[in-house]
Amino acid sequence: MDGITEITITDKDIDWVEEILDGDIKFDLPRRNIIKNLESIDIQAFPGSGKTTILVAKLAILAKKWTSATSGICVLSHTNVAREEIEKRLGNTEIGAQLLRYPHFIGTVHSFFNSYIGLPWIRSTGNPVEIVDTDFVCTNRWKSLPASFHKSLLSRRKTHMDLCFKNELGKIDLGNLSESTSTYKIAKKIIEKSQEKGYFTFGETLLFAKEAISNNPQIVDYVQKRFPLLFVDEAQDTNSFQWDLINSTFPNSIQQGFGDENQAIYNYVGENVTDRFPRENPLILPESKRFNKSISKITNPLAISNAEMIGASTTFECNNTIFLFNTDKVGTVLEEYSKLVLSTFTDEELEKYQSEGCHAIGMVHKKKEETTPEQFPKGVFDYWNNYNHRSSSINTMPEYLVEYFILGRNELDLTGEAHLQIEWVLKGLRILINKSTDTIVIENINSLFNSFLSKLDDEKQNIFREKILLIMNKTSFPEAEWVEIQIVVSSILSLFDVEFGMSDFLDWRNNTNITLSENSDEMGPENVFRYIDESNRSVDITLGSIHSVKGQTHLSTLVLETFSYNHNIASILPFISGVPSKKKLGTRDKNRLKCHYVAMTRARGLLCLAIPKDKVDKDTITNLELLGWNIRVIE
């Protein structure tokens, strides 16, 4: 089957998929129409509309009807949410297993173009591939650059992160330093030498994929036959370069984009998100089943889309509150919020929605320097001194090797930096090797990678790197593929003359409850503020960044004011209060709107904001109250 023309999705198919999906899922007519549609079209889906569930249902039906053994469905995304949803809802079914293996592909844009095009093309030119990681590789190149050139580049606001090819192979952006200067020539030579050793940034591997496609039309023919149907999940986060790559690789495949243009927030990692999504005349899912009309009313003013969201839930009706605080009372904001949570929800409700929880989040959460009085409060850390920005969203200690691998993948998806993923993979392998030998074979030194390499000769080092890459290139670690991974692990152990023996540590576990702590060898619950009132009732508030909660549903969310060039919430207060300025929206404010739209659409029950009192005037307070906000002053 080169195409999918013989596939038709019927109501009977949708009835079937409702039965196999866990949970009380019923698709109404608009959602059924989206599932049935097999044309090239985009789906603009508002928060809580069940976008990913709809996509998973559609994929399950297609997998059931798929007959080709050599062509498959391709699902690309900015993260692995779609894949995780398949594992969660269909993990124990044959349909789920089919979707997660050949001939189908479900993973990130980077992993697809690396696996199928970029890395094979690099190897075909005679270069090895040792490591693909932007920060590690650029730092390595910076160290190779003569120290006398560092000052010149830094004065031009160029850092180690600029020692790479970004927009075009062979071209570096070093400000006003032309190609004829010695600095430019030496920097370029260092990059080329680095690549000859097999060191590449993520961006460079995509540039090689672009080169391969441009020079070889047969690659495009192959990919289209291999994947006649393409879905792009979280399409709003795909940047212009990636869209160009996708469109030139899949020009005749059926393409469907799923996403929400109001939530394009991943340009914080340097990506230039464009207006490629949605295309003209998208199918729209305006109804959110997450929250009620009160929350949709106060969040709609932040949306950049023309269509408005409709809150359809009737589960909760809460007093959504803005806390206005004197800056000397910033330390009491979490306590006041906790009191409101306890007065809003019963203990039974708090227990029922414990997995969703209550969260306090901000746009800035990493403390890079001390906060000045003008910037205060600058980040989440200013609201609670115990906040640790290095913590992830997971909160128990890994007990199994697979959990270390999952943590590594989570780090890569969250930060885009492979050296963090490598660190977790190696931590797990170090424990396994040392446990298996009942001695310290691999020491826990500053560079764990070097600790492993120091035990191997050159030939074994190359094999070790290849095996680690096999683990790193996995987008997830489902039970069906764990035996495969164990074989790779066994081959790694043999390099160290360690026998592969079965132990509990090697068992597969589907545990997504794990937290990273500041000390790389110690783990435990972090970034949780606990409040206990006089009657011994308690609530836990999980702190984090806005980016870390994208895609989540909360019982309650508190959005904290933070500072980046200006105070973020204060900068968009005219929109939040329903009276936006008529002047053209700048890039920073557009990003603030999208970020806070994401933040303010997480809660199914209670939504709160915390803003310094001196940032909000009386007219703004009046407008906020007219929209339905409750105002509470902390002084």
One-letter amino acid at 217 equals P
One-letter amino acid at 440 equals I
Q: How many CB atoms lie within 10 A of CB 489?
A: 22
Q: Please spell the DSSP secondary structure of 507-529, one letter per residue.
A: S----------SSTT-----SEE
Which stretch of DSSP H or E encloses residue 538? strand 538-545
One-letter amino acid at 288 equals S
Q: Please spell the DSSP secondary structure of 94-131, one letter per residue.
A: HHHHHHTSTT-EEEEHHHHHIIIIIHHHHHHTT----E
Residue with tokens 């495009």: 220
Determine if the peptide bond prior to 377 is cis (ω within 30°).
Answer: yes
Residue 293 CB-half CA count within 13 A: 1
Separation of alpha carbons 282 and 30, rounded Å? 13
Separation of alpha carbons 609 and 575, rounded Å? 14
48 is in an annotated binding site: yes
For residues 360 and 334, the answer to whether their CB atoms sit within 8 Å is: yes
Determine if the peptide bond prior to 103 is cis (ω within 30°).
Answer: yes
Q: How many CB atoms lie within 10 A of CB 21?
A: 19
Task: Check residue 41 and report its DSSP letter.
Answer: E
From 45, 47, 44, select the one nearest 600 (Cα to Cα).
Answer: 47
Which stretch of DSSP H or E encloses residue 176? none
Q: How far is CA 456 from the centre of its chain?
A: 35
Q: How many CB atoms lie within 10 A of CB 626?
A: 11
Task: Check residue 563 and report its DSSP letter.
Answer: B
Residues in Cβ contact with 413 at an 8 Å cutoff, skipping those fewer than 6 apart: 79, 80, 108
45 is in an annotated binding site: yes
From 198, 112, 200, 186, select the one nearest 150 (Cα to Cα).
Answer: 186
Separation of alpha carbons 299 and 319, rounded Å? 14
51 is in an annotated binding site: yes
50 is in an annotated binding site: yes
Q: Please spell the DSSP secondary structure of 409-445, one letter per residue.
A: HHHHHHH--HHHHHHHHHHHHHHHHHHHHTS-SS---
Burial-class residue 396 by CB neighbours within 10 Å (0-12, 13-18, 19+): middle
Cα Rg for the chain, rounded, in angstroms? 25
Separation of alpha carbons 164 and 171, rounded Å? 8
314 is in an annotated binding site: no
Task: Check residue 584 and report its DSSP letter.
Answer: P
For residues 336 and 610, the answer to whether their CB atoms sit within 8 Å is: no
Separation of alpha carbons 27 and 523, rounded Å? 41
603 is in an annotated binding site: no
For residues 312 and 287, the answer to whether their CB atoms sit within 8 Å is: yes
Binding-site annotation: residue ranges for ATP: 45-52
Binding-site annotation: residue ranges: 45-52
